[in-house]
Structure formats: C-alpha cells, structure tokens
C-alpha cells in the first residue's frame, strides 16, 4: 500500500480495477453459458467484449503513468465472482436461475460502478482530464449494463421479464 500520495493511491485504485476487470473477463463466459434466456446470454456476451475493453483502458492508464498492471488481486470482485459461481453450480428452474444470475451480475456491476466513480473523481482532483474521460466512459458502460440487467429482470423497457417468468 502506498498511501503517501494521492497519485499513488489513485494508481492502487486503478490496479484494483484492473484486477476486477481481469477476473470478470474470465467469469462472464461462464455466466453466459449458465444463462438460459437468450437475451441474458447475449447481454453477458456483449458485456464480455466491453469488459475486455475496460481492462485494456485501465492497463493503458497505468502504462501511461509508468506503472505495470497486475500483481494485485481485487478481493472484493473475487468474493462476488465466488458467489456468482455458487449460483452457476446450482440446479433447478432455468428462469429462477437466470434471475439469480442477474442478481449476482448486478452486484459485480455495482462494485465496478463504485470503483470507477471514485477513480474518475480522483482523476478530476489530479487534473488528469484524459483519464477522467476514459474512466467516465467505462463508468457509463457499467451503468448501462446494470440498467439492461434490471430491464431483463423486470420487463420494464424489455420484451423479457425474467423475474415474472420465474415466479409463474
């Protein structure tokens, strides 16, 4: 931990996010495979592509600050993914399982939203305008993904309503 300067703390935060994204790149294909509803499968697959982009962007930011990405594991995301894997491993009704997969995935998205929100704000404080833009773009995609998952669960703004199907 290098909390001797705001910049070092910012770098630590980016490293944490890099690890979170890297773990999600490995987990999202498993979520996609476990999902039964085609639109949910597709949502996980689409977010996998975005997540690969996020990982590259964060790596780029670190490289730009002469820092090497990696060498740290985000324990928060590790725990959330662990919980997601518990859902993946369960048997039962496919729609009920889809609803549980959405809940697990939204916990990951909210974790990312919190992390990127802070990192974006720290970049603002440091006057790193390009980093602010790059982090904001990721933050927006995390938010859109979260909203899409809500839509698929509730049917509000979506043709599928997984929660409703799961309670039939």
Name the site residues for Fe ion (rule: CB under 5 A). Answer: 51, 54, 112, 142
- What's the chain's length in residues? 168
Cβ closest to Fe ion, residue 6 vs residue 114: 114
Cβ at position 113, least distance to Fe ion in Å: 8
What residues contact 121, with CB distance under 8 A and at least 6 apart? none
CB 151 within 8 A of CB 166: no
Q: Which is nearer to Fe ion, 21 or 98 (CB)?
A: 21
In angstroms, the CA 76 to CA 68 distance is: 21
Which CB, 100 or 148, lies closer to Fe ion? 148
Min dist CB 145 to Fe ion, Å, is: 5
Cβ-closest residue to Fe ion? 54
User: Which of these, 51, 153, 70, 67, lies nearest to 112 by C-alpha position?
Assistant: 51
Closest approach of Fe ion to the CB of residue 111, in Å: 9
Question: Nearest approach, Cβ of 50 to Fe ion (angstroms)?
Answer: 6
Closest CB to Fe ion among residues 22, 95:
22
As a whole number of angstroms, the distance between CA 97 and CA 118 comes to: 32
């Amino acid at each position: 931990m290098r909390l001797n300067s705001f910049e070092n703390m910012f770098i630590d935060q980016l490293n944490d996010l890099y690890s979170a994204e890297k773990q999600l790149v490995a987990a999202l294909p498993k979520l996609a495979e476990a999902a039964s509803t085609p639109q949910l499968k597709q949502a996980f697959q689409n977010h996998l592509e975005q997540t690969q982009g996020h990982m590259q962007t964060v790596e780029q930011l670190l490289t730009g600050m002469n820092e090497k990405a990696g060498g740290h594991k985000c324990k928060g995301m590790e725990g959330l993914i662990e919980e997601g894997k518990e859902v993946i491993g369960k048997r039962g009704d496919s729609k009920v399982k889809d609803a549980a997969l959405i809940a697990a995935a939204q916990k990951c998205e909210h974790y990312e939203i919190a992390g990127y929100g802070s990192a974006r704000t720290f970049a603002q404080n440091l006057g790193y305008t390009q980093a602010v833009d790059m982090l904001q773009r990721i933050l927006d995609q995390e938010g859109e993904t979260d909203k899409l998952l809500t839509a698929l669960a509730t049917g509000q703004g979506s043709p599928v309503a997984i929660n409703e199907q799961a309670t039939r």
